[in-house]
Amino acid sequence: MRYALLHESPGRLRVRPGRKGMTAEEADILDSFLASKPYVTKIKIFEHSGSVSIRYKTEEGARDRLLQDLLDFSFFDEDIRALVPEQNGRMINRQYRARLISLVAGRLFRRIFFPMPLDRAWTLMRSLGYIRRGAKILLKGKLEVPVLDAVAITASMLTGDFATAGSVMFLLDIGELLEEWTHKRSVDDLARTLSLKVDRVWLRNKNGEDLLVDLSDVEIGDHIIIRTSDVVPLDGKVVSGACTVNQASMTGESVSVPKEKGGYVYAGTVVEEGDCVIEVTKASGSGKYDQIVRMIEESEKLKSNTEAKAFHLADSLVPYSLVGAALTFLLTRSVTRAMSFLMVDFSCALKLAMPLSVLSAIKEADENDIRVKGGKFLEAISEADTIVFDKTGTLTRECPTVVDIVTFGDADKTESLRIAACLEEHYPHSMANAVVKHAEEQGVLHDEMHTSVEYVVAHGISSMIDNKRAVIGSYHFIFEDEQSKVPEGEQDKLDSLPAEYTHLYLAIDGVLQAAVCITDPLREESAEVIEKLHGLGFKRVCMMTGDNDRTAAAIAAKLNLDEYHSEVMPEDKAEFIKKEHAAGRKVVMIGDGVNDTPALSEADAGIAIRSGAAIANEVSDITISSEDLRQLLILKELSNRLMGRINRNYRFIISFNAALIGLGVAGILPPASSALLHNTSTVVSGLYSMTKLLPGE
């Protein structure tokens, strides 16, 4: 595709294809194509002008790949067209916008051109659906909002007020349409959030060699390797090995499912433990998105507890409205006054304003590069009083660096780095990435030299090299679990390793060969963020780390933490959160690694750093960018403001509609005026719910 580059800034391009304007279908194709690229983070397409705003990762080579992909793109490429999902946000907006226009236009046409007898006949015909719906619920022995709607419409027509009955049905139709539209867009937003991207995979070729290749190069029938914490990139059948897979993204339940030879694994699920080779049965496409949409449609992930209570309140008030109407009629003998109870119900405003408030907040979070998987997690952030941080990759920078390789015995420094990088490249953790990156910077090649890799969560990695057991990991793993020995006469050398660094230990055949010294500096913004989190309502800010107590204490003092725990295991983090729950506290957990996933699942709201392990992103409720922890402040303030808005909406809707009922019963407002004011307030509260929450946005 030929295009013009309209504007460029770091990590962002604005381009326009060789012609002005773009059809809706073309916009969908281009959007799906760009969204499939792992280095693209955000896309905005302006159909009328034909321009496209693209945000991409600032990693080396991303810009060049993006420009080349745009040149190679074609609206007529069948493989690209196949990427377009069954539904997407743009399609949904078009469909519901057309339905809304049709609804309003139909109403205006009938009011202007239908003679009164025909208009009344139309109103009577339209009322049958509402009456039938109310009757079905009544026959089940329930009194819910549809019963009140049916009674109000019927009573209006029996008193000859067909205009009010028509207005009530029109506004109910509008409310239902907007509620359905809101739900569909919420599902679409969440599906895109949950659709994890995979860039590169390990491919096992016919010679038995393992090669790291682009996902786009993998074809049906190829064998790819998946290991602990990997996202399964493509559907496939297990041909060797065994693992347990978290299928939450497909089923909605975070349950480990064992997979052995002959078992089937699905794209987007995550390996919790083990490793296996799968034969690819389905190439990349839109299936993952469509499956997630169907899962979310059947779940309650969108609703917060406050929303659910508001919805139940609307139904619980129905009997009181019916009893109030009956008592008013018995006391006043006035049908008009009794109708006041029927013309005003609380459901329209509650069921419209609450979802719109949540959707608006989720979208506003997304605009700030924060992905929220449901309204209930924003509510949890607002109510939480304890926040727990992992250290490495969270409070510290996501890219620690190797500063030295200290060897023992007669080990060679370069060879030790080669072995360490060869093992660590299979483990998606910031420390492992630091080792691999250092090897690349030193020009040390580390082609596969070992057999299968075994990863022990929060401990380290083991494998076999030249029939010798090679292990790399923490002090606990190497010296306590593996019982490795220090070469004779070099204990002092081990003890004198600089305490300010994090250490990875490499042992071959039970003998220490090298210690990798890694600097893991605190993020510049960490102290500021923790101070402001205290000011935003968190009473306790804690840190959980696998580091030794000396290192942890120094960090806790620098950051003014309320509490810290050192040398912890993954289960210790989850156990700490359980104890907090037992003490009546609500907890937020923030982490980025495989060892953080139990705690992320246990917390009221689990927040993952997006550049961390895939399984952490999968089980978390919210993901934030790795660039700046200040996003936590945005998230907390957004959550606080959302709950404030929901509570204001709640109070306004209840008090305003109660006032309308009172004025109607007093004979001051006729039923038609009550209905008009009630529905006007519904629209106003809905529009208010869609406004920005954060100042300066």
Does position 58 have pLDDT exceeding 50, yes or no? yes
Give the three-state DSSP class for 269.
coil
- Buried/exposed 618-645: b ≥16 CB within 10 Å, e otherwise: bbbbbbbbbbebbbbbbbbbbbbbbbeb
Cα distances (angstroms) measured from residue 212 to each of 215, 426, 450, 596:
9, 10, 15, 26
Please, are residues 381 and 588 in contact by the beta-carbon 8 Å criterion? Answer: yes
> 234 phi and psi, to 5 degrees?
-145, 155
Q: Is residue 326 scored above 70 in pLDDT?
A: yes
Mean pLDDT: which of 327-336, 483-492, 516-525 is highest? 483-492
**Other beta carbons within 10 Å of 257:** 17
Q: Is the dihedral of CA 276, 278, 283, 289 positive or negative?
A: negative
Q: How far is Cα 296 from Cα 377, in angstroms, rounded to an integer?
A: 15
- % residues pLDDT > 70 (the chain): 88
What integer pLDDT is reported at residue 490 of this predicted model?
94
Q: Provide the token pair at 112.
A: 């202007």
So what's the pLDDT on residue 313? Answer: 73
349 pLDDT higher than 80: no
Least confident of 310-314, 360-364, 621-625: 310-314
Q: What is the pLDDT of residues 121-169, one digit of tens each?
A: 999 999 999 999 999 999 998 888 888 889 888 988 988 889 888 887 8
Q: What is the pLDDT of residue 286?
A: 45
Q: Would the pLDDT of 374 be above 90?
A: no
Query: Where residue 466 falls among pLDDT bands split at 50, 70, 90?
Result: confident
Identify each DSSP E strand in 545-619 by its residue range.
Answer: 563-565, 587-591, 605-609
Q: For residue 273, what are the CA distances in angstroms to 102, 270, 595, 614?
A: 53, 9, 12, 13
pLDDT of 412 over the 90 cut: yes
DSSP state of 47: T
* Residue (of 274, 248, 280) closest to 259 by Cα position: 274
pLDDT of 302 reads 54
Mean pLDDT estimate for the chain: 84
pLDDT confidence band for 209 (50 / 70 / 90): confident
> Could you give the angle at which helices 89-113 and 24-35 cross, rounded to 10 degrees?
150
What was the pLDDT predicted at 485?
94
The C-alpha angle 3, 6, 10, rounded to 5 degrees, equals 110
pLDDT at 197 over 70: no
Q: Where is average pLDDT lowest: 334-348, 413-427, 652-666, 676-690?
A: 334-348
How confident is the model over 253-287, as pLDDT tens digits?
A: 556 788 889 988 887 777 877 888 999 987 654 44
Length of the chain counted residue by residue: 697
Residue 227 near residue 453, CB atoms below 8 Å: yes
Tell me the mean pLDDT in the region 205-214. 82
Mean pLDDT, rounded, for 597-615: 85
Window from 274-288, 357-371, 546-560 with minimum mean pLDDT = 274-288
Cα separation, 694 vs 642, whole angstroms: 10
The dihedral built from the CA positions of residue 264, 266, 272 and 274, taken in this order, carries a sign that is positive
Kindly report the CA angle at 500 between 498 and 501, in degrees rounded to 5?
75
- The confidence score (pLDDT) of residue 195 equals 57
Considering 76-85, 217-226, 346-355, the range whose residues carry the highest mean pLDDT is: 217-226
Amino acid at 17: P
Q: List Cα–Cα distances, 85 to 41, 89, 216, in angstroms.
A: 18, 10, 18
pLDDT at 697 over 50: no
pLDDT digit string, tens, across residues 17-34: 876 788 888 888 898 889
> Any bridge partners for residue 465, and if so which?
468
Q: Residue 590: beta bridge partners?
A: 389, 607
pLDDT at position 137, please? 92
> What span, in angstroms and rounded, lies between the C-alpha atoms of 574 and 87?
38
| pLDDT at residue 251 tops 60 | no
pLDDT tops 60 at residue 586: yes
The predicted model gives 41-61 an average pLDDT of 86
Cα–Cα distance for residue pair 266/260, rounded to 1 Å: 14
Q: pLDDT band at residue 182, thresholds of 50, 70 and 90?
A: low
pLDDT exceeds 50 at position 531: yes
pLDDT tens, residue by residue, 481-503: 899 999 999 999 999 988 778 88
pTM: 0.71
